[in-house]
Each structure stands twice: as C-alpha cells, then as structure tokens.
Amino acid sequence: MTTFDTIVIGAGMSGTTSARILADAGHRVLVLEARDRIGGRMQSDRSAGFPVDLGASWIHGITDSPLSDLVQTLGIPTIEFTVGSFQAGGRPIENFDGESAPMDADASARWVADVEAADLALVDEIARSEPGDTYLDVTERVLDRTGWAPERIDEVREFFRHRVEEQCGAWIGDLDAHGLDEDAIDGDEVIFPRGYDELPHRIAQGLDIRLGHVVTAVNRSADGVIVSTDQGEFTAHNAIVTVPLGVLKAGAIEFTPALPEHVAGPIARLGMGVFNKIFVQFPERFWSEDSYVLRALGDAGEHWHSWYDVSAISGHPTLLTFAAGPFGRHVQGLSDGAAISDVLASLRAMYGDAVGQPVAHRITRWGDDPFSIGSYSYLAVGSSHHDHDALAGPVDGVLHFAGEATWGDEPATVGAALYSGRRAAERILGRTIDLNEFAARIITREQSDAR
C-alpha cells in the first residue's frame, strides 16, 4: 500500500488549497472527498443554463483581501453587489413597514438612522459585556435605553435578530455577545457571474482527488496516520482534516486516540449555524429596476424579510431570499411547494397581485446535508475567538485541521477556508507560502496543460 506524505480529508476550498500547496512542493498528496464533486460549500448549479451559487456567493469586501487578489490574478470575473452582508442602508433598498406598507424615503432614512444609532451604542455595550452574555442580552440593553416607541424598537430589534441569522445562521440568544466582532466589511462586495466554484475547481486541477470516499476513522501514532473510508484504508505521514465543524460535532469521524481537549473543547463549544437559500425566478419583474434588496421590517418581516435581486447573474427576474437560524431549520422540513407558497404570501402582502407565479425555484437544505451538517460556524455563547484557531491543532505533530471554522479572523467565509488551508500546508512544510506565487503556479500549469 502506498504511504502518502499527506492525506487531505475534504475537497472544499481549504482542502484543495492545502493539497495544491503541498503537491506543488513535491509532496505526495491524496485528497479523500465524500461527495461526487469537489468544492464543498462552494457549489454552482449550472443545470438551468446559468450558474446558481447554492453555497457561497459573495466576497465580503475586496479591499486588502488576498482572496480577492487571487480571484483577480486568476482572471475570474466578478460583479459588484455591495449588499451581501446584512446592511440597513447603503444601496437602494425597498423597505416595507410592519404592516407590509411601502415606506417612503423619509421613513426609510429614519429607520436607517435608528439602526445606526443603536449599532453605535452596541459597541460600548459589547465592550462592557460579561462572559456568558449573549448578543440578545446586549441588544436588548441598548434598545431598553433608547426610550423609543414599541413599534420603533421592534423594527430595529428584528434587524438585529435577522442580522445574526444571516451572518451566523443562529438565533440571537445563542450567539455570544462578541459573535459579530469580526464582521467588518472592507470595500465593495462582489459576486461571481460564472459561479464561485470555479475557484476551487481551478485550484484542484491535476490533484489526486478520490471522490465518493467517505472517511469514517482516523488513527494516529508517532509514525503517521491511517485513514479509514468506505472504500478502504489509506496511510500517510500526516493528515489535514477539513470536514465542516458540523461533521466534527456529530462525531461522524472516529479519532483514535480521542482528540485532546485543546481541539475537542473548541469543537464542542463553537456553534454550527444553518443558513439556507431560496432562489425564485419570476415571469416578470414586479420590483423597481433600481432596487438591490426588498426588505420587510418589524412583524411583517418576522420570517421572510429580505429579497436580493440576483437577476444580473441569470438574465431573468430572480430574487434570492434566506431562511436562517431556527427558521432555517424549520424551512428544511417543508416541501418545496410549501416553502415557496410561504415566500409568495409574504411578497404578495407587499406587492399584491403584481407577484406572478414563479417559473423556477431552488431551495438549499445545508443543515440536512450529511457532509456539512450546517452552513457555517459561529461563536456560540461560552466559546471564544481563540477557539477557532485552537481547533486547527496540530495534534501529536501528525494531525492538522483546516476549514472556515479554524480561522478566527473571519470565520464562516471562503477567505477563512483559503487562509486556513494555506496555514495547514505551511505548518507541514515549515515555511510561509506567498499566495501570488500560488496563483502564478496555477496559471503556469493551466498554460502548459493547454499546449
């Protein structure tokens, strides 16, 4: 049996990145991937004739972003769409009040000012928070002090709640008070007209990736690792485990000996959120040409609250809405028909009969996916930012972890997956890796393959 230098478990963004770096350095690398495709939570469905990004779709801020630099160097086109993060203002947003009535520019501006004032007060409140305080605790303290009328408070409260659901996939009461500390956006946000999964596919080209290999156990000793799959065993001097936190939390891979506390503790403490996407294509546009987002505030937006116009990708009138946190888990249990009817009822409360019958839809269920068991990690109350990086290990010098949940600076993102994959490879190689050189090698290989 071949003994590899490194076995990488998982062919998502972090796994393909670490495998590529190690293979480029001359290591014998094997990638074991449970699915019949690579990319993991970067999945662009092209079956309709245009890409539909079922997982990641945005770079949240392209300024000083090595991820954005990599995308540009590889010549992957992007479209500016600066509302991927949950914003109150910034771009034309059609707001509807708690009774589903359209808000005029003044009313919208007042609401945005309320959110901004409460958000500013939140900075100090979070700084003063005690261990064990949740994001719900700190936001309620801020809202209590405003002295605003109950309806006015409700519209800001819903915003905070939905922001946590969208950014973390969690209920606001489960998120640590510091859970959005790393949520800074620097510069424009962009999306991918050719589909975001082009990036891991380009990185992965030429690697030894075995699809349909579900890893069930990892045994380690001073000599290396034995990785068991449903297709047999593989051995290597070391392994990089990049499966999502949800898979680790579920105990789907048995580690022998058991993982030590410095890695097992973070796995137990960090949370895995649920964030699902619902794409709905309409026969005709019923919202304004200029609007990027339609948003229902207060009671009207308790469940479905934000619809993003992603027509630029498909060329057809298409809205993207999200179901996240506890509501996201609820929606996973609905049939497609029931979920779409519910979405339409909310839209019709705002736009009436102008809302036509959809011509197509797509619904994700990441929380039910056995190779993800959730959408991305979040700082559950009781965990700390340190837990993310501690999760990377290494363990006994032979076992490394990578993936979005292992990168404390900006967890839950493609950037986190990229940088953590590079870190795991750097630790094995014992030297730093320049992402510009990484990109240059991908291009050189593509050019030589094309000859």
Return the number of the residue (56 or 347) whose C-beta is nearest ligand FAD: 56
The span from the CA of 406 to the CA of 263, in Å, is: 10
Toward ligand FAD, which CB reaches closer, 8 or 122? 8
Q: Are 193 and 312 in contact (CB under 8 A)?
A: yes
Of 157 and 277, nearer to ligand FAD (C-beta) is 277
Shortest Å, Cβ 121 to ligand FAD: 28
What is the smallest separation between the CB atom of 406 and ligand FAD, expressed in angstroms? 8
Please tell me the number of Cα atoms within 13 Å of 295 on its side-chain side.
26
Omega of the bond leading into 283 within 30 degrees of 0 (cis): no
Give CA–CA dist 231/59, Å, rounded. 36
Cβ pair 166, 324 in contact under 8 A:
yes
* Residue 85 · residue 119 · CB < 8 Å: no
Nearest CA-CA partner of 102 in 350, 356, 355: 350
257 CB-contact burial (10 Å; exposed 0-12 / middle 13-18 / buried 19+) = exposed
Q: How far is the CB of 255 from ligand FAD (least distance, A)?
A: 12
Q: Which is nearer to ligand FAD, 27 or 213 (CB)?
A: 213
- Name which of 247 and 270 has its Cβ closer to ligand FAD: 247
* Distance in Å, CB of 58 to ligand FAD, minimum: 4
Minimum separation from the CB atom of position 94 to ligand FAD (A): 22
Contact 402, 421 (CB under 8 A): yes
CB of 56 vs ligand FAD, minimal distance in Å:
3
296 phi/psi in degrees, rounded to 5: -100, 130
284 and 347 in contact (C-beta within 8 Å)? no
Task: Work out whether the CA dihedral 65, 69, 70, 74 comes out positive or negative.
Answer: positive
Cα–Cα distance for residue pair 37/7, rounded to 1 Å = 18
Six-digit token pair at 213? 């290999």
User: What distance in Å separates the CA atoms of residue 211 and residue 34, rounded to the nearest whole number?
Assistant: 6
**CB-nearer residue toward ligand FAD: 12 or 179:** 12
CB of 38 to ligand FAD, least distance (A): 7
Euclidean distance between CA atoms 447 and 451, whole angstroms: 7
User: Of the two residues 156 and 412, which places its CB atom closer to ligand FAD in the complex?
Assistant: 412
Helix (H, G, I), strand (E, B) or coil at 31: strand
Smaller CB distance to ligand FAD: residue 34 or 294? 34
For the bound state, the minimum distance from the C-beta of residue 368 to ligand FAD, rounded and expressed in Å, comes to: 12
**Between 138 and 405, whose beta carbon lies closer to ligand FAD?**
405
Cα(215)–Cα(219) distance, integer angstroms: 11
When the beta carbons of 107 and 435 are compared against ligand FAD, the nearer one is: 435
Q: Are 298 and 263 in contact (CB under 8 A)?
A: no
Grouping H, G, I as helix, E, B as strand and the rest as coil, residue 294 is strand
Minimum distance of ligand FAD from residue 371's CB (angstroms): 4
Least separation in angstroms between CB 175 and ligand FAD: 17
SS3 25: coil
Task: Count each helix (H run) and each strand (E run) in the chain, helices first.
Answer: 14, 20
Report the candidate in 180, 148, 162, 112 with the shortest Cα–Cα distance to residue 385. Answer: 180
Q: How far is the CB of 243 from ligand FAD (least distance, A)?
A: 4
The CB-of-43 to ligand FAD minimum distance in angstroms stands at 9
Q: Which is nearer to ligand FAD, 100 or 413 (CB)?
A: 413
Nearer to ligand FAD, 129 or 306 (CB): 306
Residues that bind ligand FAD (CB under 6 A): 9-15, 32-35, 40-42, 55-58, 60, 84, 214-215, 242-244, 247, 252-253, 275, 277, 364, 366, 371-372, 375-376, 403-404, 412-414, 416-417
Give the separation between CA 102 and CA 144, rounded to whole angstroms.
27
